[in-house]
Structure 1
Amino acid sequence: MSTVAKAKGFKHSKPGLWLSIGTSAFGAVTIYKDVKKARTESDTLKLINALVGAAALITGTALLVRELRQLGDDDVLLG
């Protein structure tokens, strides 16, 4: 298998999915800060924007977890 093919398969491998989930955790920190700032400023529109972002982050993470569970032992990089 070529290096390019392995790199393309990384996104759908266990390590790739775990990396994506970890990246989502950093996004959660940003959303938390946005919510806190919006509350401090009493800015309803910014608060709604942060909450919609949080919903998207939760949905995306749930999809990654589901794909990780479906992957099981059929990991592309492990052979």
Structure 2
Amino acid sequence: MNVKKKSKAGTYLSIGTSLFGVVGVVRQLRTARRDHDTLELVDGIISAAALVTGVALLARELRRMNDDSTDLFDS
């Protein structure tokens, strides 16, 4: 499996971009609730879950990067 590793700065940028996406999801959810649009509401909830999962994966990657960098100094 060929996995490209990101830099810490790139990972932070990805987290920031994901968190910026929250604005759109919140707007979508508010509109769906106002219009009583169940399908749009479900789409917004699924989009929010995807954002949360993405940020969690990026946070785990950052933790692993930090663990790997401290291991270099322990040797």
What is the DSSP-based 3-state SS (H/G/I as helix, E as strand, rest coil) of the residue aligned with 2:50? helix
TM-score, normalised to structure 1, is: 0.77
Q: CA RMSD in A?
A: 1.5
Q: Could you give the per-residue CA deviations for residues 2-59 of structure 1, whole angstroms, max 9, x where no partner exists?
A: xxxxxxx7x6111000000000111001000000000010000000000000000000
Identity, % of aligned positions: 49
Q: Which 5+ residue runs of structure 2 have no aligned equivalent?
A: 71-75
TM-score, normalised to structure 2, is: 0.81
1:62 positional shift: 0.1
Q: Do structure 1's residue 69 and structure 2's residue 49 form an aligned pair? A: no
Corresponding position of 2:73: none
Greater relative contact order: 1 or 2 (C-alpha under 8 angstroms, separation 6 or more)?
1
Corresponding position of 2:13: 19
Q: Do structure 1's residue 56 and structure 2's residue 66 form an aligned pair? A: no
One of 23, 27, 31 as aligned partner of 2:25: 31
Instruction: Work out the CA distance in 2 between the residues paired with 1:64 and 1:46.
Output: 27
Q: Do structure 1's residue 45 and structure 2's residue 45 form an aligned pair? A: no
